[in-house]
Chains A and B, each alone.
Chain A
Amino acid sequence: MVQRSRLAARETALSRVRTLTVATIVVSVIATIGIWAAIVIASPRSDTNQAPGLSGSWTGRSSARTGPRLAAGTTWEAQLQPADSGPVLTTKTARTDRT
Chain B
Amino acid sequence: MSTGLALRLTDKQALAYLCRSSGFVVLVLLTATMVLGLLTAGRLNSPRWSRLVVLSLHRNLSLISVALLFVHLLAPVIGGHLGLKLAYAFVPFVTAHIQVWTRAASSATDLILLITIVSLARVKAGYRFWRWVHMTSYVAWSLAVVHATGIGSDRRPVLMCDAVCIAAVALASGYRLRVRWTTAQRYP
Contact = CB atoms under 8 A, between A and B. Distances in A.
B68 A32 contact: yes
Interface string B117-161: 000000000000000000000000000000000000010000000
A13 B50 CA distance: 7
Nearest to A25: B64
Contacts of B9: 40
B53 A24 contact: no
Contacts, number: 87
Interface residues on A, range: 20 to 34
B17 A36 contact: yes
Q: Which of A9, A16, A24, A87 has the most CB of B within 10 A?
A: A87
Given A17-B52, A21-B60, A39 B20 contact: yes
A87 B25 contact: no
Interface of B: 5, 7-10, 13-14, 17-18, 20-22, 24-25, 28-29, 32, 50, 52-53, 56-57, 60-61, 64, 68, 71, 80, 82-83, 95, 97-98, 154
